[in-house]
Structure 1
Amino acid sequence: METKYRYILVAIFCLTLITRLILAFTIPNFTYESYFHIEQAEHITQDGFPQYNDPLSYGGRQLFFLPLFHYIAAFFGMVLPIELVAKVLPSIFLASLTVLVYVISRKISMNETASLFAATIAGFLPIIFTTNAFTPETLFLPLIFVAIYSFLNIDKKNSLYIYMISFLLLSILHPATFLLIMGFGIYTLLSFVEGKEIHRAEIELILSSIFFYIWVQFLFFKNILLKEGISFVWQNVPPQIIQEYFPLLSIPEVVILVSAIPFLAGIFVVYTSLFKTKDKKTFFLISLVISTTLLSWLRLIESHLSLSFLGIILAILFALFYKDVTEYFTKTKWSHLKKLIPITVVILICLTMIFPAITTALDQETPTSNDIDAFIWIQENTNEGVGVLALIEEGHLVSYYSKRRNMMDTNFALVQDVEQKFKDLGSVFTSSLETYVLSILDEENIQYLILTSRAQQKYGINEFKFLSDECFELVYNKNAKIYKKHCTLTRE
């Protein structure tokens, strides 16, 4: 790599990282799901192990998850405040995608300028600009592209070791590593159909990856698999909200989320690669596109992660598109317009990616500071062991800030009657029948109810509809409202 390109790449990385950090610290709090992962990282720093037996989630239960992300966060959390780690570490992980996309793009396109544009697109993809999300996906995305790059360079000895290490880490980081496994299968099929030779080393690596992945997943999730069967793949998500986790998006929606530039360029490259150039390295990337699309369509992977992965792959394919366009102009009588292509791309990236990315960050769903103060009040002013009812996404806030039992949160695996629980939770926010609500609260052993500003906005209410002075006391009223239950239904 020439020195000037190295400097430009460093500048792209720094611009991406600084932008992410500014936005992360501008927004005071984290996304709702993040608080579960922060709590696990804190638990590791204190006890050395994740909290697989959680006494607060759903009133007490066993959890199932892969722990690598939490151990890495806990390692840094031993010397830095965990909430600082939770803002900085994901930004570094996702900013590193610029470097990874650059080296992969250069590998397949042999064009420095095209690779730099691909890196910029990857850095500012709107779908991954949730700067306040502290989740395993923030490490999964860069790590899977380390594995992809090393697989593309499998003929080199060091790359083999890098692949083995990265795949091992992926297997204990996130179940979505199956994306890569399925991509290998489609890559093998495409190569066979097109008569492309697959080297023995590739076959051995693919087979060993499949067996190792299956072994690790069975090791961590065997109880879920044995109890729920194949349905464990859908995470026991209540049917009422499964569309939120696995939405069937239209093409216009996908274009908006991954940006028009990489999407349209990706379609062009997929077409030319499958029916014209038939390059083997591009076959592998296209296989990953097909893999992601199929798994998303079958609702085997959450849409946000699948679109994030797809967007980064399309950013890499953009390098091939840029190379083809510049070469085309060189061969025509409009070759003098070639110098306008980089300027045009820069303008389009600013208009269709950078500004939407910043907007995405500013529109993240995070709890307000006033709501968090209410959850902290519960911890300071209630007895240990009481149950607290909140929105399902706020369940992790009850566990993290209030240190009290929640009725529900977003970890659904192995929860019995999850559909009925979700229905009951919604009924508390919508019903005007006090006896009906009391029966739910008694059954779930709930003593406090919190109506946050988010809940008020979600249901269009300022207070619960079933309230009576005899049974419910307003004990906190600062934007968010907290009620204490005094009544219990008499059972004969």
Structure 2
Amino acid sequence: MQLSRTQKWLLVIFIITLVTRLILAFTVPNLTYDSYFHLRQVDEITRTGTPLFEDPLSYGGRTLHYLPFFHYLVAFLNLFLPLGLLAKIVPNVLLSLLPFIVFALSKKISNNETAALFSAFISGFLPILFTTNAFNPLSLFLPVAFFALYCFLNIDKRGFALYFLLSFFILSVTSSATFLLIVGFIIYFILSVIEKKKIKKPELELIIFSVFFYIWIQFVFFKNVLISEGARFIWQNVPTQILTQYFPQISILNALLLVSIIPFIAGIFVVYQSLFQLQNQRAFLFISLVISTTLFSWLRIIEFNLALSFFAIILAILFSLFYTYLSDLFAKTKISEFKKHLALIMVILLLPTTILPSINFAEKQNTPLDSEIEAFTWLNEHTAKNAKVAGLLEEGHLITYYAERKNLMDDQFNFIENSEDLFSDLNALFATPFETQALDITSQHGITYLVLTPHAQRKYGIKNFRYQTARCFKKIYDEETKIYQVDCILDKK
């Protein structure tokens, strides 16, 4: 089959995006810290066929609640390829599919193939999405979410209702963030009523079905959490001391760099034009999603990375309307000769504001060092099976994955009643100069080993624990990472 010129360009964008992502993924050592939680779940499903809902190691033993579709998908692929390879390939392949979906959506709302190609290129090189070493469900959620939106916009065409239902099912068992679509649909309905746009019957039926199906799925997987934690479940039970890490107060400049400045400016212009001047109904659905994402980000209900990722892809799609507007404007004015140079101008503007920041962002990913992983692997080989190890919060999954030992805590906070107290104690282990305070904490929580990685040393500005004594804290591993065995128990009697 002969490919059209547009299809060839789209294929080139996909190949460049995928190759760039894979080169960076295999250049940057190891995976991001949170990835090791998901690796462990895939391992468990591969071995037993069921998720690790009863975890004997996290927090010293606890019940986990999460949506497992992504893990089942990778576990199936793990039957054919090693998990270490899949962890770097699968997320990058999935996110490299975004340009195809964004192209289809952009062409749908702009009816301009050139504009849609630019949107596709932007979506392939959004800096916020260039966490090339992150292995998590977000890499599946984002492309499937926007495919569902494409199906929703084509609901009148044969087969698309079924595709929407299938993709929405996958979303519902992949990430609770699917509620972004639900609320976006509701806002879309409200805006359509305000602007006196007639809602198609199939659209209304799908919106109603989506709401009730999503609620049912969440109740099936999280019933006990909802009953026990109530509203705290919405904020993921994150300790207040670290809320700023999950919901940071980001500056406008940083936001511009992460979503790329050109799509950001274009998106703001399109939103203004659509709502207050041209009342462009084609953009209503995406504007509704911008509103829902902004609202939940402001309320600190969704994490910063997810909110900005979703927002950035929508801006990439809205860029197609901006490009079409400029093209039409040039054609109608005395500077119409500039229209033929518009594509070249956009290329010149987009290349330095997308590709370079994306590569820079990927190179600065927060991943553990090889020497740190060696230390956790050493723990697995030289400590008792019932040992309990304390490391940084983000290192909790390294303890359970590589050392296969109990940790004090990690970033899976749901269903943990005393997460704030635990975090205070964990922080004190690294910050206190007092041996009695450290022993009080280790005795209270049954901690038998302390790990001081180069990452922890930089974070707390220390080379050794300030309270370290050979009598109670014996150094048993002395490389870049240091491991101490706790030999004393504080008797409070």
TM-score, normalised with respect to structure 2: 0.99
Matching residue of 1:5: 6
> Which residue is 1:33 aligned to?
34
For the pair 1:433 / 2:440, whether they are aligned, the reply is: no
Structure-1 separation of matches of 2:392 and 2:28 = 21
Post-superposition offset of 1:330: 1.0
Alignment of 1:53-64 (within 5 A): 53-64=54-65
Alignment of 1:336-485 (within 5 A): 336-485=337-486
- Stretches of structure 1 that go unaligned for 5 or more consecutive residues are none
- Distance in 2 between residues matched to 1:344 and 1:408, nearest whole Å: 51
- Specify the alignment match of 1:229 in structure 2: 230
The match for 2:179 is: 178
Query: For residue 208 of structure 2, what is the aligned residue in structure 1?
Result: 207
What is the number of residues matched between the two proteins? 492
3-state SS of 1:32 partner: coil
Letter in 2 for 1:432: P
CA distance in structure 1 between the partners assigned to 2:491 and 2:273 by the alignment: 72
Equivalent residue for 1:196? 197
Residues of 1 paired with 2:213 and 2:440: CA distance?
A: 48
The 8 Å contact of residues 224 and 232 in structure 1, kept in 2 or not, is answered as yes
Which whole-Å CA distance do the structure 2 matches of 1:136 and 1:424 have between them? 30
Point out 4+ residue stretches in structure 1 off by more than 6 angstroms: none
- Structure 2 CA distance, aligned partners of 1:216 and 1:416? 24
Superposition deviation, residue 342 in structure 1: 1.2
Deviation at 1:281, TM superposition (A): 2.5
Q: Which residue is equivalent to 1:113?
A: 114
- Partner secondary structure for residue 234 of structure 1: coil
Gapped runs of 5+ residues in structure 2? none
Query: Does 2:272 align with 1:251?
Result: no
Any conservation in 2 of the 1:29–1:132 contact (CA below 8 Å)? yes
What does residue 101 of structure 1 align with?
102
Give the whole-Å Cα distance in 1 for the aligned partners of 2:176 and 2:106.
26
Q: C-alpha separation between the residues in 1 aligned to 2:172 and 2:131?
A: 24
Question: Deviation per CA, 1:447-481, whole angstroms, max 9, x where unpaired?
Answer: 11000010001111100000111111111111000
CA-CA distance at 1:2 after TM superposition: 6.7
Task: State the partner residue of 1:144.
Answer: 145
Q: Give the whole-Å Cα distance in 2 for the aligned partners of 1:145 and 1:263.
A: 19
- Separation (CA, whole Å) in 2 of partners of 1:482 and 1:2: 59
C-alpha contact 2:451 2:481 (8 A) present in aligned 1: yes
- Whole-angstrom CA distance in 2 between matches of 1:246 and 1:207: 30
Of residues 417-426 and 329-338 in structure 1, the stretch that sits farther from structure 2 once superposed is 329-338
**Structure 2: how far apart are the matches of 1:490 and 1:298?**
45
Task: Write the deviation string for residues 90-142 of structure 1: whole angstroms up to 9, x where unpaired.
Answer: 00110000100000001111111110000010000000100000000010000
Deviation at 1:253?
A: 3.0
For each residue in 1:173-226, what CA deviation from the matched residue of structure 2 results, as whole angstroms up to 9, or x when unmatched? 000000000001110110011100001111111001000000000110111100
Q: In 1, distance between residues paired with 2:202 and 2:277?
A: 27
AA partner of residue 270 (structure 1): V
RMSD: 1.0
User: Equivalent pairs: percent with the same residue?
Assistant: 51
Deviations 1:422-453 (A, max 9, x none): 01100010111101100100111111100001
Q: Which amino acid aligns with 1:473?
A: K
8 Å Cα contact 2:273/2:280 also seen in 1: no
C-alpha deviation, 1:347, in angstroms: 1.6
Alpha-carbon offset, residue 327 of structure 1:
1.0
SS in 2 for 1:483: strand
Equivalences for residues 299-310 of structure 1 within 5 A:
299-310=300-311
Map residues 309-324 of structure 1 onto 2, 5 A cutoff: 309-324=310-325
Is the contact between residue 142 and residue 310 of structure 2 (CA under 8 Å) also seen in structure 1? yes
Whether the 8 Å CA contact 1:50–1:67 is kept in 2: the answer is yes
Conservation of the 8 A alpha-carbon contact between 1:248 and 1:297: no
Whole-Å Cα distance in 2 between the matches of residues 58 and 276 of structure 1? 55
Letter paired with 1:448? Y
Q: Structure 2 CA distance, aligned partners of 1:251 and 1:214?
A: 34
CA contact (8 A) 2:327 2:342 kept: yes
SS in 1 for 2:446: coil
Q: In structure 2, what is the equivalent of residue 263 of structure 1?
A: 264
- Name the CA distance, whole Å, in 2 between partners of 1:466 and 1:97: 51
Within 5 A, what are the aligned runs for 1:252-291? 252-291=253-292
| Residue 348 (structure 1) shift | 1.5
Contact between 1:388 and 1:407, CA under 8 Å: does it hold in 2?
yes
Q: For 1:55-78, what per-residue CA distance to the aligned partner results, in whole angstroms no more than 9, with x for missing partners?
A: 000000000000000000101111
Aligned partner of 1:157 in structure 2 is: 158
Whichever residue aligns with residue 478 of structure 1, its letter is E
Q: For residue 275 of structure 2, what is the amino acid of its counterpart?
A: L
Counterpart-to-counterpart distance in 2, 1:231 and 1:481: 36
Contact 2:188 2:288 in 1 (8 A): yes
Q: Which residue of 1 aligns with 2:88?
A: 87
1:349-404, Cα deviation, whole Å (9 max, x unpaired): 11111000000000000000000000000000111010000000000000000000
